[in-house]
Amino acid sequence: MGQKMAVWKKDQNQFGIIRRVVVWLCAIVFLVLAGIGIWIWSYAITPIPVREGANLHILIPPKTSLAGIRDILAENGVIPPGREFYYLARISRLSQRLQAGEYLFTPGQTPYQILRILAVGSTVRWSVTIPEGTNIYQLADILAQGGWGERDHFLELVRDPDILAKHGVRGASLEGYLFPDTYQLIRGQHPRQIVNLMVERGKKVRQELGDLHDNPLGLSPHEVLTLASIVEKETAAPEERPLIAGVFLNRLRQSMRLQTDPTVIYGIADFNGNLTRKDLVTPSPYNTYLINGLPPGPIANPGRAAIVAVLHPASESYLYFVSKNDGTHYFSRDLSEHNRAVVKYQKSKNKR
């Protein structure tokens, strides 16, 4: 019995020693983890002093890893070198939410604030205005010059059969369907996203205007956009759009050719800015001096007002108009009146 008690006491002593060791180890681990936590938290909430020559305007390319993002920020002086930012992103569980794009950081921000900005995707947004009446070639130039992709790539996208089918466009391109507006774009945004953004904006505007089939001649929505694009190119005077639309609708109603220069110009490859008599007699699907009715599709991207003008044209019986050389036009109901107006305004133009 005494021997058993001795063995039991020995086991108890060994257990006590082990327990004390475990307690000490747990305490040490706790202190180490607490120290790391305090160190990381102190790093997270301490404003970062901006070094001289730092660049706070940063572009994070798509698919950049966490380590890559850390290196980009450190190289530009947004954060100090070291692995602290990496650990903070992991511990805070924000590492998988960091987004590519263009960012503008401000002096005195903390590492955690910087992480939150990247996780939320608070990128720099640039206002890009697409004027009414801009065609796909001009639009491609605007985007290319702004750094949103190559011109040829954009033109490929707006002619892509899959994209056309996705948006229910039966034409050869998205001409007329890329709504002119001011868009907030971000650097690194794919041209395909920009195309979709503009097409969806156009859909929303047309929905707001009601059923495009509801127009004086029962034109299809595609034909409404085609005529609206011509109206857009013919005048920059807002008050004239319903009159211009009325003229073209009256001519269509009477089976008269539209005979409008902007359509001819659209059908000329590499137009040099000088429309000649030869151009007017050169066959083209867009030469409305030679074809009957509307051209096969829009010649530009019309704005809301031009579409409204086609849906609700002026009720006048005008069939002709001529430029008065001041941005407005003189409208006539018959050819003799029109010829007199041409002599009057074109003569005065030639004299000047």
Residues 262-296: tens digit of each pLDDT:
999 999 988 888 999 999 999 999 999 999 999 99
* pLDDT over threshold 60, residue 33: no
The pair of three-digit structure tokens given for residue 175, joined into one six-digit string: 């001409």
Q: Would you say 87 and 40 are in contact if contact means Cβ atoms under 8 Å apart?
A: yes
Task: Give the per-residue pLDDT at 230.
Answer: 98
Q: Would you say 177 and 169 are in contact if contact means Cβ atoms under 8 Å apart?
A: yes
- N-terminal to C-terminal alpha carbon distance within the chain: 132
Identify the three-state secondary structure at position 96. helix
Q: Which of 24-38, 154-168, 294-308, 332-346 has the lowest mean pLDDT?
A: 24-38
Mean pLDDT, rounded, for 185-201: 91
Instruction: Name the more confident of 25 and 219.
Output: 219
Structural domains of the chain in order of their starting residue, each with its CATH number: 57-120 (3.30.1490.480), 126-209 (no CATH), 221-318 (no CATH)
Task: Give the per-residue pLDDT at 20.
Answer: 61
For the stretch 287-318, pLDDT in tens is 999 999 999 999 999 999 999 999 999 999 99
Mean pLDDT, rounded, for 75-103: 89
Q: What distance in Å separates the CA atoms of residue 194 and residue 154, rounded to the nearest whole number?
A: 9
Q: pTM of the prediction? A: 0.80
β-bridge pairing 182-185 and 126-129: antiparallel
Q: What distance in Å separates the CA atoms of residue 82 and residue 231, rounded to the nearest whole number?
A: 61
Task: Give the per-residue pLDDT at 352.
Answer: 41
Best CA proximity match to 169, nearest among 190, 198, 140: 198
Q: Would you say 186 and 126 are in contact if contact means Cβ atoms under 8 Å apart?
A: yes
Secondary structure letter of residue 51 according to DSSP: P
* pLDDT over threshold 90, residue 128: yes
Identify the three-state secondary structure at position 79. coil
Identify the three-state secondary structure at position 268. coil
Mean pLDDT, rounded, for 157-178: 95
Q: Would you say 150 and 164 are in contact if contact means Cβ atoms under 8 Å apart?
A: no
Mean pLDDT, rounded, for 158-167: 95
Q: What distance in Å separates the CA atoms of residue 92 and residue 105, rounded to the nearest whole number?
A: 20
Q: What distance in Å separates the CA atoms of residue 76 and residue 171, rounded to the nearest whole number?
A: 47
Q: What distance in Å separates the CA atoms of residue 325 and residue 344, rounded to the nearest whole number?
A: 11
Identify the three-state secondary structure at position 270. coil
For the stretch 229-255, pLDDT in tens is 999 999 989 999 999 999 999 999 999
How sure is the predictor about 55, in pLDDT bands with cuts at 50, 70 and 90? confident
How many helices (H) and strands (E) the chain has is answered by 14, 6
* Segment holding 89, helix H or strand E: helix 84-91
Task: Give the per-residue pLDDT at 10.
Answer: 54
Q: Which of 45-49, 56-60, 347-351 has the lowest mean pLDDT?
A: 347-351
The pair of three-digit structure tokens given for residue 108, joined into one six-digit string: 């005195």
